[in-house]
């Protein structure tokens, strides 16, 4: 059989693509292939569970647009499928005058992105979050938390109930393109599709290389670790607490995240891993190749 579409990857991108496509083209045959024994076992099931409002994104960009629409769409999806979520809101806290300046610029960006964001004085911040110190903050109301593994599993169920097919434990190991079809080789057999959609997350470059596509990117192994605070601290904060981002760093910064199960995590640190010979070596030896990157203050603060 030749499927109309074969989708690689059972994270949130692969599953939402499959689910949307099956709704738009109910007569199409769609097969989703996932290499793990369950969905969302990589980024999707290991993230912070935050539905972001889109504070950081350049006004007018697709990211800003999708993020604003995405919060509402995800909340609607959760309500329809009885998936618990909490609109706990987010505080971006400034701790010095430089961050205060950046905070003003960020507020202007929120306005341009049509995000409901309110400035808080030091006193108002203390009142909202007695355990957090800062000279001021931005309160973003729409930011919410959810269990993305549950969202992903529900999308998989919806996709299948509409006639979609998926196969777990099916790792794509080779691809070739013929005139009318793509041949997808897996560890459990060969599948044929008229179109292939790759949603392989951090394996994106490897999938592209299977087809010898001339790509201009490469995934660099990068690891961020979060710590869970002890359960007695579950009421330490009521909001998600983020720093005002430093434009010199490609991260949101170390943050306190309320999780939907009531726990609080703190992180991430940032570890970059590579083999001395250069990128492209994937058998990372954790002992000799992970290196600490930036955030020297993180460890010191955590010890305190």
Ligand X SMILES: Cc1cc2nc3c(=O)[nH]c(=O)nc-3n(C[C@H](O)[C@H](O)[C@H](O)COP(=O)(O)OP(=O)(O)OC[C@H]3O[C@@H](n4cnc5c(N)ncnc54)[C@H](O)[C@@H]3O)c2cc1C
Binding site for ligand X (CB under 6 A): 8-14, 33-36, 41-44, 47-50, 52, 171-172, 199-203, 224, 268
Q: How far apart are CA 209 and CA 212, in angstroms?
A: 5
Q: Are 145 and 240 in contact (CB under 8 A)?
A: yes
Rounded to a whole number of angstroms, the minimum distance from the CB of residue 268 to ligand X is: 6
Closest CB to ligand X among residues 108, 173: 173
Rounded to a whole number of angstroms, the minimum distance from the CB of residue 234 to ligand X is: 18
Q: How far apart are CA 45 and CA 287, in angstroms?
A: 26
Rounded to a whole number of angstroms, the minimum distance from the CB of residue 121 to ligand X is: 28
Say which residues have a Cβ less than 8 Å from residue 271's Cβ, sequence separation at least 6.
Answer: 222, 223, 224, 225, 290, 291, 292, 293
Radius of gyration of the chain (CA): 22
Rounded to a whole number of angstroms, the minimum distance from the CB of residue 60 to ligand X is: 20
Q: How many CB atoms lie within 10 A of CB 247?
A: 8
Q: How far apart are CA 113 and CA 57, in angstroms?
A: 8
Residue nearest to ligand X (CB): 11
Rounded to a whole number of angstroms, the minimum distance from the CB of residue 97 to ligand X is: 29
Closest CB to ligand X among residues 122, 263: 263
Closest CB to ligand X among residues 14, 134: 14
If you search the block for the tokens 């973003």, which residue do you land on?
Answer: 140
Closest CB to ligand X among residues 74, 99: 74
Closest CB to ligand X among residues 136, 154: 154
Kindly state the tokens that stand for 253: 């910064």
Q: How far apart are CA 170 and CA 191, in angstroms?
A: 11
Say which residues have a Cβ less than 8 Å from residue 79's Cβ, sequence separation at least 6.
Answer: none
Rounded to a whole number of angstroms, the minimum distance from the CB of residue 219 to ligand X is: 11
Closest CB to ligand X among residues 135, 284: 284
Distance of CA 137 to the CA centre of its chain: 24
């Amino acid at each position: 059989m030749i499927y109309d579409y074969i989708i690689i990857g059972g994270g949130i991108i692969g599953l939402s693509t499959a689910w949307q496509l099956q709704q738009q083209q109910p007569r199409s045959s769609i097969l989703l292939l996932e290499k793990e024994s369950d969905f969302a076992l990589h980024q999707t099931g290991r993230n912070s569970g935050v539905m972001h409002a889109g504070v950081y994104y350049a006004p007018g960009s697709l990211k800003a647009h999708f993020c604003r629409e995405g919060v509402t769409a995800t909340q609607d999806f959760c309500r329809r499928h009885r998936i618990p979520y909490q609109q706990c809101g987010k505080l971006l806290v400034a701790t010095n005058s430089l961050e205060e300046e950046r905070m003003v610029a960020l507020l202007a960006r929120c306005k341009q992105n049509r995000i409901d964001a309110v400035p808080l004085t030091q006193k108002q911040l203390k009142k909202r979050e007695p355990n957090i110190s800062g000279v001021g903050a931005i309160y973003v109301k729409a930011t919410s938390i959810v269990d993305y593994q549950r969202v992903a599993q529900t999308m998989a169920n919806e996709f299948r109930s509409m006639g979609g097919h998926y196969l777990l434990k099916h790792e794509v190991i080779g691809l070739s393109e013929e005139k009318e079809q793509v041949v997808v080789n897996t560890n459990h057999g060969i599948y044929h599709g008229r179109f292939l959609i790759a949603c392989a997350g951090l394996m994106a470059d490897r999938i592209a290389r299977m087809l010898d596509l001339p790509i201009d990117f490469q995934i660099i192994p990068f690891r961020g670790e979060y710590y869970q605070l002890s359960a007695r601290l579950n009421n330490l904060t009521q909001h998600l607490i983020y720093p005002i981002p430093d434009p010199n760093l490609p991260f949101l910064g170390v943050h306190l995240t309320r999780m939907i199960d009531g726990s609080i995590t703190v992180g991430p640190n940032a570890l970059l891993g590579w083999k001395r010979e250069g990128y492209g070596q994937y058998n990372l030896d954790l002992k000799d190749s992970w290196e600490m990157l930036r955030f020297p203050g993180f460890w010191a603060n955590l010890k305190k």
